Amino acid sequence: MVFISLFCLCCVFFLALHHSFTLFASGRGKVIGRKWADAKNAKEVLALVQAEGWASSVVHAKADQKHVNAPCFYQGNCSLHGENLLGRCFCFPGWTGEQCEVDERQSTPVCTNRGDTCFYTDEAGVFAISLERWHVAQEAELVTWDNWDPVASGGDRINDHLLGFDLYREVGEIGANLGNFLEVGCGPWTQSVTMMKTRAFDVEKYVLLEPGALNYAANTKDTVYASGQIDGFDGKTVVVNAGGEHLDLFLEVFDTIMMVNVLEHTNNAISILRGLYNALKPGGLLIMNERWLDTFDPPEELDLNALYHPIRMKQTVFDHFISVGFDIIRDCRTAECHNADIVKNYGTSTYFIGRKKESCA
């Protein structure tokens, strides 16, 4: 398997805009980068977490939190004690103030490295976790998909999202070209392939950004990019083995970005939202489904649901991101867009389609 590191990713991507390129070729192989590679399922991962915990619960802010070509936004890094989202600081636990400059850590829970309580903030919920905690969530995610039958299960809630986005009618006319296209956190089967087939969309480049891509291509049944290409988009596909936190490598590159049910699985969700904004061209299209929980008590010790879904943000984060950054085409939060069981078990979400505002206000 051929793999090119993130060190040269920027050069690789811009080369890929003009030439056919993939970051790896397919092949069955050993699982890469897993701490508990012998775990057979998520329950076994959970038992190991409960016994051993993770190494650190220290959360790190991004040093560069600027917004490209957006002079009206605050461009600072929230004193490195929070994350800047379209000019507003969301502070890490124990820090307050407009720029997260006030230290109130004496009132925050002590981290146990076995639960998520110390990641919680009253303002935004859990929006960032330590890298070590994120690796634990990825362990459970990878082993689950390795045992999943995408045909029997219908993929990763593909029919739910077809309903929520009304068959993607508002994305574009049948046969429309979506330009340089990116799906963030695509998993092994993607949501975008179904959208492309349903609407017969075309693209200039088809980019997939997924931190488990190498493992999925090697080990997960019916991974749609296992050959290094998406069927029907041969020569246009670029697969990147990296998480959405690395969106900061791309500045106003993409015409269309898709992200469906991703943020709750990430390391730093607000940095990803900022990355989405920066990676889109002015007027670029965002297709997004994410959910929030305004009433949530982070567990002192993980259960299976919390193991998979460490990020539990509040609605205020999404409302700020959408209203400040985008002209809304679709923002469906009602029952007609949602599977009732999903709402009952996981909270409310938006099926959102919008265009990045041509300038900040």
Rounded to 5 degrees, what are φ and ψ at 303? -110, -175
Q: Spell out the domain ranges in the chain.
A: 6-34+137-298+333-356
Mean pLDDT by 10 residues, the chain (361 residues): 41 40 41 72 91 93 95 97 98 97 91 92 96 92 80 74 95 98 96 97 98 90 93 96 95 98 96 98 97 84 89 96 98 84 67 95 72
pLDDT at 107: 83
Considering the entire predicted model, what is its pTM?
Answer: 0.90
User: Which is the CATH superfamily of the domain at 6-34+137-298+333-356?
Assistant: Vaccinia Virus protein VP39 (3.40.50.150)
Helices in the chain by DSSP H: which ranges? 9-16, 42-52, 131-146, 150-153, 158-164, 192-199, 213-219, 269-279, 304-308, 315-325, 340-346
**What's 236's DSSP letter?**
T
pLDDT at 346: 54
Q: Using the structure block, give the residue that is written with the tokens 């329950």.
A: 43
pLDDT at 17: 39
Q: What share of the chain is helix, strand, coil (3-state, %, to 5)?
A: 35, 20, 45
Q: Which residues lie closer than 8 Å to 305 by C-beta, 6 or more apart?
A: none
